[in-house]
Structure formats: structure tokens, C-alpha cells
Structure 1
Amino acid sequence: MILSTAKQISARNVLEGLRQGLSRFSGPSRAALIMAETPDAPLVVHDPRRLLRGHEPKLAKVFLESSGWRDMAPDTAAMKPFGQAAWAEKLHLTGLICAGGYSQPLFYQMWFTERHPNMCSTGPTERWLEHAVWLLAHDYASEGAFFTSASKHALEAFEHHAVRNHIFAEMSKGLGRPPHIPLYPILAAVLDISTTREEGARPTGQVIFVEPSDADNVPWLIRFPEVERPYLHNAKHVRKLLSCVENSSRRLVSDGDRVLGVSGPANGLANRLTADFQDRFGFLRLGGKPVCSFVDGVYQSTTRKPNLVVLEEALLEAQAGPDQGHSLFQVASAIVDEARVEGFGCTLVLDPKATHPALAGQSVHPSLFLDDPLHLDLAKSLAKLDGALHLTGGGELRAFACLLDGRSVESEDRSRGARFNSALRFTAMHPGVIVVVVSADSPVFIFQGGLQLNAMCDLRQEADLELDPPTLEKWLSEQ
């Protein structure tokens, strides 16, 4: 019983380390595990935050109505207890990412986490789940002899390794061999460069990393002599060189160790790894496809674009015509995206049925119809001013620099700024309007009826450690 308890604690520690690490990489996340310790053991479910609820029919079909997951398993008894595993067939569950495997110490594991709608790629997260398979198998192989929570801490800080492992796997597929460029030094250098300013300005421009064998295929504009090539880890020097490629189709070219020169567009290099610096944040791309973003010296999975699905749904329910609702959504999205890219905060008051009286601000007579690109461009600039834009109907600008007032409400948050709390108060008094607030550091908040529509749930840590997880049959019966 002591050994069993140590193993279950290991499972919960790995689960919590995975959740915390993914929450930093992708935003608030949940994680779950379905496992069977031996070929004859029943499946048990670790799902402390109800991630798998709603997927019961598919789970019952895969695991109870079929024995394929057990019958198709490799001979785990012949495997080495450490360092050997075979990957299991992935499940296809809407909104979830999963990965699992078979091993000698732990017969079957299948890990799950959320698929956030604004992820650049699911690849790094899949590598994260695969590493959880390795770590838990190793913990079971040690049989609790080394109970240090090391696996939990390793998963909490796995973002560099997850990104590197994904890039390594994808480049190996494309090249037919492991890549020769040093991926860990590249990832460290990209973050160093991204936080290095030149005369107060953040970096913009692109650096591409190419295999030595591809160097002759680069469309060179300048190729530095070998003895004069700057080292990539010299972030200050590379930041200065970026000045010659910003706002252009030119690129700095590196082999991961040094900067080799300056090229023109290099779209023909299929396996190129690109660091795209965009002032406040940036992106890593492989073959032109996004892998992840980086901001403030950390890697994240987000595309940096706000998820406005909640806003679109709210406009559809506002009883405006479908065409008007769509037009107003497109206008609001364009202004929000401009604020995100330029890094300024703003507030939009969306009045779909144009029933709200004139706001205290600068009126626009006649109203500007923002389906005109020139008018929309002007509205984006006006959004930078203090105060809100008043948008009605299908995207008409009625006023700008508007003041929002209202009585205090219980849902106010004093840790937020004036825009946030003013929007709460204003929508509590005027339920027919929707207010969108863009913070200067990019978060987007959507309010209606005195509530934040896109608020995140607080995923608190479980108070008690579940040492006796339910079997899958019992878990399904509790739905």
C-alpha cells in the first residue's frame, strides 16, 4: 500500500507540474490522465478539473466498447524499465490535445490538455505531453525510491525544451536527418535579442537560421568574411545589425553560431527557421509556419491575436440584423487588431441598435461609415485618444473621446485600470450596449450587463490529493 501511495502521488505531481507549465505557455490550462498500470489492470482516471467531461461517449467507445488500445500494445515486458516507450495511437477529441504511450513500468498512459483557439501550433504542447509519459514511467520504474517531485518541477519549466523538441522533430522530417543547427543556443539568443533595445527602440526585422548545407542556396546581398562574422550570442551586436533589415524584405542570416550576412527574401528555403521580431513581441516560424511567439523574454503558444468569438456571439444575440452585426464585428476587430499591433489601449462602445443617446465626447456629424477604408483608418487613429469610440449599427462612428460613467458595481476589480472598471459600471447601467476594452499590454476585455463576458475561471490547485482515482467505469457512471 505504501508503494501504491507513492506511485499515485507521482501521478498527481506530474499532472500538476504539466498543468502549471502549460498554463504559463498557453494561458490557464487543465490536464487529465487515463492510465492502466499493468496489461490486466483496469483504466483509472485522473481528472481533478473535469477536463474530460463532455467526452464520455467517445471515451466509452474507445476504452470500454473496444479493446484495441490493449490488444495493439507492444510487448512491454520486453522493454527496458528506463528510457524505452512506444507511442500510443492518439484520440481525436474536440477541443483537446492528447498524447500517450506504453512502457514496461506503466503499461498505458494517455494525457490530455485543452486546445486553445489562438495557438500558433499544437506541436510544442504535444511534445510536452510526450515528456509527461516519459517522466511518469520513470517515476513508476523507480518505485518511489527517489521521491523528490523532480518530475513536477521539470514539467513546470519545459517550454524551451518543448519548442526545441518540436522544431527538431519537424526539421528531421524535412531533412531526412537530424538538423545540424544548434537549437538550444538559438532559442536562448532569440530571447536575449528580443529584450535588447537600441537607442530605446525594441527590435524589428527577421533573422533566418539555415543549415550549413543550405548556405549556398541563400539569395545573398552581403556575405560577411568568415573572420568578421558576429557571434549570435552577442545580442547587442545582432540588435544593431537588425536595423539594416527592419521594415524590408531583407533578412539577417545565421547558422546558429554566427551571423553570416544579409539576404533578400528566402522563401525557397523550406527548412528555414525564422525569428520574426515585431517590436513588443515576435514569432518563431519553421518553413513559414508559426511555431510559437515570444514576449518579455519567454516563449508562449499564443498567436498574440485576441479571441473575439465571445464578442461575435454577443453581437448576434443583440437582435441587430445579421449583416449589421457582422459589419460591426469586422470594424471592431480591425480597430482591436490595430491597438494590439501598435501597443496602445482603447475602449469601444458598440451600440448595435443605435438606441443609446449621445455620449459625452466629441460628436461626429455626419456619422462616419467605417466600411470606407479611409474612414476606418481615421477611426483607428482616433481610438488612441483618451476616451471611447461610440460605434453603432453596421459600423458607424458617432463620437470619439467619450467619457463613460456609472454607479459602482460589485464586480469591480481595483487591480485593473480605469478603462476596465468604467466599462463595468457603464454596461451595468446600459445593458443594450457592449464595451470592448483593449489594455496597452494587449489583453482584450468584453463587457455586457455589468459583467466581463470573456473572464477566465480561476483554476485553483486541489486542496486534497486524490490517492485513489476512480476506474473509468466508475468515472463514467458519475457523469
Structure 2
Amino acid sequence: MAGRHFESVCIFHILDGLRDGLSHFSQPSRVALIYCTEHGGAPRIYDPQDLLRGHEPKLRDFYLYSARWRGVPIDSPEVVFLDQDHYNRLDMAGVVAYGARTRSVAYQVWFTEEHPDMCSLGPTKRWMEYAVRLFSQNYETEDVTNIDAAGYMLQHCAVHAVRDYLVDERSRLGWLDTQIRVYPFLDAVLGISATREEGAWPRGRMVVVEPNQLDQVRFICRFPDYERPQMADHKHVRKLLQAVERSGRVLVSDGRTVMGIAIGPMPGAYLAAQFSGMHGFLWLKDEMVCSFSDGSFNSSNRRANLVQVEEQLLETDMSLEDQHSLMQIATMLVNRVRDLRHGCALVLDLHREPLNMAGQHFETPLNLTDSGQLKLACSLAKVDGALHIGRDLKLHGFGCLMDGRSVPGENRARGARFNSALRFTAEHEDILVVVVSSDRPVSLIRNGVELTAQCRFEHIRGCPTPPLLAEWIMG
């Protein structure tokens, strides 16, 4: 198999594998490719799910009205990755781009979505780097038997992408001569996170410090050489975490064993894992790299994205100060509920006079701008029913019932809280309902419509020949 047909098959399998892998590491993700196999040739595009639709003017100016993107021909077998200035000139909001020039493929840039809750773009870019290399290698060899394996490999690269990003960043910070083995550390993090102790999920912080910098660590206690737990002994390390949970203390490791318990700042480009029950976060010094749960890494920072709530509040006649305060209150309540993994509903009542909702009320509504009363509201969210919050930034009731007549768009898979919110908002204007499910999804509902509903992307089918970019732009 050769020529344009092999090119199409090669791109299809690599792109689909990359899309599937990134969709599991992040939210559902689309992927696109702009490439040119020969220096001086016309650029082509493969965008089966319309990721780049809406960016046509910028793509036209960058690729068709200018030749700066072409660079110089590559004659050596090395991969020459594009510099940051290249992506800055593309300047496509909400899109992550990564590409290179090689001898076999003169130019290629892969694109995917930049989700608003991503901890870091680093692992995603390392993932896209694998796609760059696989496309160049397979296109040069034209061996069809390798293509399926290339696509499959890209579906399962989370640990490798996180590891490579950590190694690259530590090298950039000057830690080329390192004694820390990153793979065993990542394996220990996932193993410990899945290990319960007397029914409890792990909590606490564990850091890995370069062995030659351990003398700069403020140890409270150190373990003798022959009694240091091995990082690979997940059960033993999990037990030790109980000594540092809910405190300023941390377990300190050299990457192979647990050296002891310490407090205070850590030296160098240390690695850290923060265990927070059923999930946790991976850090490189002060940078959050990714989260982890259920035995796998994820790009999410696990914070609720309430941008739609902010957009809805901007359309009201509330003062900017009150809008900001109400947004902060909603964010605090939602994130607290998500952390405790129980569901709730927030009724944001934008009427000048709050509705009279059935539920438990107060003699004097709680002032949610007061931190103590806001914490009380977080606890009241555990009670069945909704929290009724007025535009006056006060909690007027809890355990409130949202009733109404059946409306189109109800989804029995989403439960009573979600469907009740659809019915209630369909019958009451100027009401926003934020529904937090116990399994973490957050929905915003107004006028009987879910504003946060995600589009279902069509599956990629077949291996069509990627069109010329100029033809694609012309529609």
C-alpha cells in the first residue's frame, strides 16, 4: 500500500488513537492535523470533527497568505520541533498545538482542545509529540502492519506522557544529572492511591527529593537504612501516610525508599503527591501537573467550571460587586460538595423578592458573605433538597423542593434532582439551578434547558483523503 491512500490510512489510525487517549486523560477531545509531506507542497488538513472550524481566517492568513511556516528542508533523520513563537503566531484560543519538521514529513502540526480545567498542558503536548514521531516514522517506512499498533499505543500513554513531561521540566530547571527514577514513583502513587487502610482512602503528602539534597530537609525523624519501607511496597507506605494526614508533615523519599517524616519547604525540583482520599494531585515543585484517581492519571484540576453561571449573571442588572460575590459563593459551595462527593442543588434566585419555596426556612436568612455562615451552608447542602440563595447573597432556605410539570428533555439517567430542576426552572423565570451530582458532574439549568449539556461528537469513520487546506477553508 503506497501513495496517497497509505497516507490517509496512516493519519486516520494515528489521529483516532490520539483522540481516544486524550479523551480518557481529559474530557472528550477532538484532534486535527495540518501537514505537508513535501517542502514547498500545498498544506492539507484532516479535521473530521470540526475542531478548527471558526478559525478559518487565521489559518488562511498563516498558511495561505504567508510562507514563514515552511521553514527550511530537513535532510537529517532528526525531528526538529517547532518553537513557541510558531504557536504564538498561530494564536488560536482554546486550542493546543504541537508539531515538527522531519525528513519524511516536511511539516506537521497536531491540534486538540484546551479544556478549562486542565492542570497543565505539558503531558498533553508530550502525548502529541508521540503522534508527531509515529506519523513521521510510519510515513517513511510505509509499513501498513505497524499502523494499528501506532494507534493502539496512543490510546494508552498517560503514564508515559506524565513521566516525560516531568523529566523534561526537571531538565529545563537544571536537573540533568538526576538520581530520581520517575516511573517507580508514578507507579507507587497510583498503587498507594488505590490502597485502603481499615476502609479509609489515603490522605497526606509524599515528596521525592534528590538524594544529594536530603541534608537540606528538616526531618522530624529518619528511619535507619535497614528499616526504610520500599516505595514499591504500597501497603507499607499507605500505612505510614497515616502519620502525616491532615497535618503539615510529609513523607520524604529518595525515589526508592521512604527516608522519614519532615516539615517545611523542600529543596530542588522535588516531586510531590498529595493524596486527598479517592483522588489526589501530582506536583513538580509549585506546579500542579495532573490529578489521579481510580488507578489512572487525569488532566483535570477537579475544580468546577462555572463559567456559564458567570455568563448568566453578567446578563442581569445586579451590580458587578454582587455578581462577583454570588459567583464566589456558588463556587465555594459546589467545590465543597464535590470534594465530599455528595450531590446537591443550588437555586440562584435572581428575583428582587425571593420566591416562596417549600422547604426549611430561617427566622433571619443566613448572610453568605460571612465565612462562618457560608461554612454552615456547605453543611446544610448535605440535607435532601435544594439550597435557596437570593440575589441579596443570603440563604433563604434549605431542603427546598423543586416541583413542576413534566417538560421535554428530561433524562431519567440523571436522577430526580436534575429532572426536578428542569421542571422548576421551566415554570419560573430568573432562576438558575446548579445541580451537582454525587459522581461529580455539574449542570447549569435555566428555563427548562441544561446550558452545560455537552455535544456528542460523531465517531470518526473511514479514511478519506485529507483535502487541501485552501479547499477546506473555502468550504
- Give the TM bin, normalised by the shorter chain: over 0.9
Q: Can you list the C-alpha shifts for 1:136-168, whole angstroms capped at 9, x where unaligned?
A: 111101213425411111111111111011001
Contact residue 49 and residue 458 of structure 2 kept, 8 A: no
Partner of 2:366 in structure 1?
Answer: 368
SS in 1 for 2:400: strand
Distance in 2 (alpha carbons) for counterparts of 1:148 and 1:133? 14
Distance in 2 (alpha carbons) for counterparts of 1:247 and 1:356? 40
TM-score normalised per structure 1: 0.95
Partner of 2:222 in structure 1?
Answer: 223
Residue segments in structure 2 that go unaligned for 5+ positions in a row:
none
Kindly report which structure 2 residues correspond to 1:299-310, keeping only aligned pairs within 5 A, or say none: 299-310=297-308
Partner of 1:286 in structure 2?
Answer: 284
Contact residue 7 and residue 144 of structure 1 kept, 8 A: no
Partner of 1:42 in structure 2?
Answer: 42
Partner of 1:214 in structure 2?
Answer: 213
Moved more, 239-248 or 253-262: 253-262
Partner of 1:474 in structure 2?
Answer: 471
Amino acid across the alignment from 1:65: Y
Kindly report which structure 2 residues correspond to 1:187-198, keeping only aligned pairs within 5 A, or say none: 187-198=186-197
Partner of 1:202 in structure 2?
Answer: 201
Partner of 1:98 in structure 2?
Answer: 97
Contact residue 348 and residue 433 of structure 2 kept, 8 A: yes
Partner of 1:234 in structure 2?
Answer: 233
SS in 2 for 1:305: coil
Pair 1:346-2:340 in alignment = no
Contact residue 312 and residue 329 of structure 1 kept, 8 A: yes
Pair 1:22-2:22 in alignment = yes
Distance in 1 (alpha carbons) for counterparts of 2:435 and 2:190? 29
How far is 1:365 from its partner? Answer: 2.0
Q: Can you list the C-alpha shifts for 1:384-420, whole angstroms capped at 9, x where unaligned?
A: 1111111111311111101112222221112212211
Distance in 1 (alpha carbons) for counterparts of 2:113 and 2:388? 36
Contact residue 14 and residue 147 of structure 2 kept, 8 A: no
Contact residue 86 and residue 102 of structure 1 kept, 8 A: yes
Q: Can you list the C-alpha shifts for 1:203-225, whole angstroms capped at 9, x where unaligned?
A: 11100011222222211111111
Distance in 1 (alpha carbons) for counterparts of 2:148 and 2:352? 58
Contact residue 323 and residue 394 of structure 1 kept, 8 A: no
How far is 1:229 from its partner? Answer: 0.7
TM-score normalised per structure 2: 0.95
How far is 1:109 from its partner? Answer: 0.5
Contact residue 365 and residue 398 of structure 1 kept, 8 A: no
Amino acid across the alignment from 2:429: P
Kindly report which structure 2 residues correspond to 1:269-418, keeping only aligned pairs within 5 A, or say none: 269-355=267-353, 357-418=355-416
SS in 2 for 1:139: helix
Distance 1:180 1:415, change over 3 A: same
How far is 1:180 from its partner? Answer: 2.2
SS in 2 for 1:415: helix
Residue segments in structure 1 that go unaligned for 5+ positions in a row:
none
Out of 438, 445, 448, the position equivalent to 1:450 is 448
SS in 1 for 2:138: helix
Partner of 1:159 in structure 2?
Answer: 158
How many residues get paired?
470
Contact residue 281 and residue 289 of structure 2 kept, 8 A: yes
Partner of 1:186 in structure 2?
Answer: 185
Q: Can you list the C-alpha shifts for 1:269-307, whole angstroms capped at 9, x where unaligned?
A: 130100000112110000121000011111111110010
Distance in 2 (alpha carbons) for counterparts of 1:6 and 1:415? 43
Q: What do you get for the CA RMSD once the two structures are aligned?
A: 1.6
How far is 1:355 from its partner? Answer: 4.6
How far is 1:341 from its partner? Answer: 2.1
How far is 1:227 from its partner? Answer: 1.0
SS in 1 for 2:179: coil
Pair 1:122-2:128 in alignment = no
Partner of 1:63 in structure 2?
Answer: 63
